[in-house]
Amino acid sequence: MGSDTPYQFTDMDGNPVEDAPEPQPCPFCGSGGEQLVVERWSSEDDPDASYHVECLKCGSNGPQRDTALDAAQGWNERADAARK
């Protein structure tokens, strides 16, 4: 992406998360949106998927949410709280 184009939350395949806000930097390592992905997660014990944002640089994860959009919003809420 160009320097004047804001980053978007994307899934692990690089697809943008529709209606997601612009990503806030990682509250742990400071990485920007280019290092943040929304990951789908499920386990054998719980087949219902949940989503979280993962920082590919430091490995931190945002809160688990029911949708990719909710996970993106949860990441930004956490990042905002960490800066206060």
pTM: 0.83
**The two structure tokens encoding residue 17:** 């998360």
pLDDT of residue 83: 62
Q: What is the pLDDT, as a whole number, of residue 59? A: 97
Sign of CA dihedral 18, 2, 55, 63: negative
**For position 5, what pLDDT does the model report?**
65
pLDDT over 50 at 1, yes or no:
no
Q: Which residues does 62 contact at the CB level (< 8 Å), separation at least 6?
A: 52, 53, 54, 71, 74, 75, 78
Measured CA to CA in angstroms, residue 57 lies from 4, 30, 33 at distances of: 22, 9, 11
